[in-house]
């Protein structure tokens, strides 16, 4: 796949084949991509937690909120849940200012996931304090983002935006449609 194909394929997937196991090394290699990514002032304040066992994945899942625009759908059912997570943390013993580092790291890892035949979703809507208690996270770490990963079982279709409506939607066959603004709209000069 060339870069454009990888970027195009790197959609947000929220339904997975839960029988598919992601090995630890694969997730570790994604963190290896984050390690090589740009970081403000070269401070490198991000730390990571990797989860890939069914027991651990079950622990993380309840603290995440899925697809706010799909009202009536409260996230993947059993059998379609993620089989790996990477929690992106900010280490406040290094800095309190994480800037856009976690966004860069998240997308870089998502691109790597696509290359590895996986898919997933960047999750910011997290019950942070409850999750902190669940995983016994020391105070010096801030939970910034979570990547929920797995073998996608859904089809995501990019649409040209209509009537300025940014809401993604699902059709009768459960295909997920995601509207994108046109290039013409984005480039203002």
Ligand X SMILES: Cc1cc2nc3c(=O)[nH]c(=O)nc-3n(C[C@H](O)[C@H](O)[C@H](O)COP(=O)(O)O)c2cc1C
Which residues of the chain form contacts with ligand X (CB under 6 A)?
11-12, 14, 65-67, 121-125, 156, 168, 178
Give me the least distance between CB of 14 and ligand X, in Å please.
Answer: 6
Helix (H, G, I), strand (E, B) or coil at 89: strand
Give me the least distance between CB of 85 and ligand X, in Å please.
Answer: 13
Give the nearer residue to ligand X in terms of CB position, either 61 or 66.
Answer: 66
Write the CB contacts of 102 (distance below 8 Å, at least 6 apart in sequence). 46, 88, 90, 144, 145
Burial status of residue 84 (CB atoms within 10 A of its CB: 0-12, 13-18, 19 or more): buried
Give the nearer residue to ligand X in terms of CB position, either 20 or 66.
Answer: 66
Give me the least distance between CB of 141 and ligand X, in Å please.
Answer: 18
User: Which residue, among 82, 175, 79, 170, has the nearest Cα to 123 in the 3D structure?
Assistant: 82
Distance of alpha carbon 27 from the chain centroid: 13
Give the nearer residue to ligand X in terms of CB position, either 139 or 163.
Answer: 163
| Beta-sheet strand order (sheet of 176-180) | 156-160, 176-180, 169-170
Q: What is the largest CA-CA distance in the chain?
A: 51
Give me the least distance between CB of 79 and ligand X, in Å please.
Answer: 18
Give me the least distance between CB of 145 and ligand X, in Å please.
Answer: 6
Give the nearer residue to ligand X in terms of CB position, either 122 or 135.
Answer: 122
Helix (H, G, I), strand (E, B) or coil at 172: coil
Q: Which two tokens stand for residue 46?
A: 């991000």
Give the nearer residue to ligand X in terms of CB position, either 36 or 68.
Answer: 68
């Amino acid at each position: 796949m060339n870069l454009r194909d990888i970027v195009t394929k790197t959609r947000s997937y929220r339904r997975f084949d839960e029988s598919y196991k992601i090995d630890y090394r694969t997730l570790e290699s994604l963190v290896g991509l984050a390690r090589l990514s740009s970081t403000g002032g070269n401070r490198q304040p991000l730390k990571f937690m990797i989860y890939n066992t069914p027991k651990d994945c079950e622990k993380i899942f309840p603290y995440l909120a899925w697809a706010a625009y799909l009202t009536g759908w409260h996230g993947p059912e059993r059998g379609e849940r993620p089989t790996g997570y990477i929690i992106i943390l900010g280490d406040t013993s290094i800095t309190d200012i994480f800037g856009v580092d976690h966004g860069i790291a998240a997308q870089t890892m998502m691109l790597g996931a696509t290359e590895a035949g996986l898919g997933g979703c960047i999750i910011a809507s997290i019950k942070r304090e409850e999750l902190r208690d669940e995983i016994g996270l020391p105070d010096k770490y801030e939970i910034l983002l979570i990547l929920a990963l797995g073998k996608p079982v859904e089809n995501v279709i990019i649409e040209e935006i209509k009537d300025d409506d940014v809401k993604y939607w699902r059709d009768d066959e459960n295909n997920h449609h995601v509207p994108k603004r046109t290039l013409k709209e984005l480039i203002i000069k």
